[in-house]
Amino acid sequence: MTGRTAEASDRTAFMARVSRALRHSGELLSPPRPLESDLSIARLATHSDNLLSMFADKATTAGMSVHKATSSEAIGVTLSILASVAARRVALSAGQGFAEMAAAFQSHGIELVQTQTGFEPLFTADTGVTDVQAAIAETGSLVCGSGLDRSRGTSLVPPIHIAIVRRSDIIPDLLDLFSRQSALGQSSNIVLITGPSKTADIEGILITGVHGPRQVHIVLVEDA
């Protein structure tokens, strides 16, 4: 018996011993079917709930400021927030009705920061204003996607973030997000925001606004 033949024979014998020890017949068995999930237990929010009120409550609990408005009031409410934080330079993401909002900002002496040329201009902005691709009622979270017309830094880089959330944006929970493909569109990046940026050191001292906005304001458009 040559050395190579002996080596193959030893390997076969070894594998046979392992199979016997594991009582393995050598045939692959079909994996067991997973148990059916009872989503009525797992889900805390459903489409039958008052999702607008739930979202507003959860977002407030998470540390965000919620400003309710009608669709005709949304621009005025946003301008009031900008005035309250003395914002003079604003990064404005693309969104439904945002061309009208951009004109209103400029008419009030607010300079618009370019959001399509990288992150650097965003560091000069006082505030970032964005729409959302969804808003999660269960946790009060904002879902901000990025793409060709939406910089991912607009909601992350300026020290203050204002999100325009419409009633139609609100979904019960995270499970619904991934079935809402039309809302996500061609987003290259998705950020879930639940409150202002926070961090804590080893002693547990909480600091706000170190790695992102220190304030998050939501203009909640109730009739959209």
The length of the chain in residues reads 224
Q: What is the pLDDT at residue 212? A: 81
Looking at residue 29, the DSSP 8-state letter turns out to be P
Does 95 map to a domain? yes
Within a domain: residue 144?
Answer: yes
d(CA 165, CA 67): 10
State the pLDDT at residue 95.
67
Structure tokens at 117: 């040329």
| pLDDT score at 76 | 96
* Residues 135, 141 contacting (CB under 8 angstroms): yes
- Whether 179 is covered by a domain: the verdict is yes
Location of structure tokens 């992102």? 212
Strand order in the sheet with 141-146: 170-171, 134-136, 141-146, 189-193
Report residue 174 as tokens. 């995270």
pLDDT digits (tens, 9 = 90+) for 125-157: 999 999 999 999 999 999 998 877 778 899 999
Q: pLDDT at position 111, please?
A: 95
| Cα dihedral value 177, 143, 92, 101, nearest 10 | 60
Block means of pLDDT (10 residues each) for the chain, length 224 residues? 62 79 63 73 82 96 96 96 96 81 95 83 93 94 85 91 96 86 70 87 74 93 85
User: Quick check: 128 and 162 in contact, CB under 8 A?
Assistant: yes
Q: Check residue 182 and give its pLDDT.
A: 62
Asked if residues 117 and 150 have their Cβ atoms less than 8 Å apart, the reply is no
Domain membership of residue 143 (yes or no) is: yes
The domain tally of the chain equals: 1
| 96 found inside a domain | yes
Q: What is the CATH number of the domain that holds 169?
A: 3.40.50.10420
- Judged by DSSP in three states, 189 sits in strand
Strand, coil or helix: what is 127? strand
Q: Which residue matches tokens 């909640």?
A: 220
What's the CA angle centered on 13, arms 9 and 19, to 5 degrees? 145
Backbone angles phi, psi at 158, to 5 degrees: -60, 155
Residue 193 in any domain: the answer is yes
Kindly tell me the sign of the dihedral angle through the C-alpha atoms of 2, 6, 8, 9. positive
Six-digit token string for 214:
């220190």
* Domain span at 54: 48-221
Assigned domain for 10 exists:
no
Q: Is residue 111 part of a domain?
A: yes
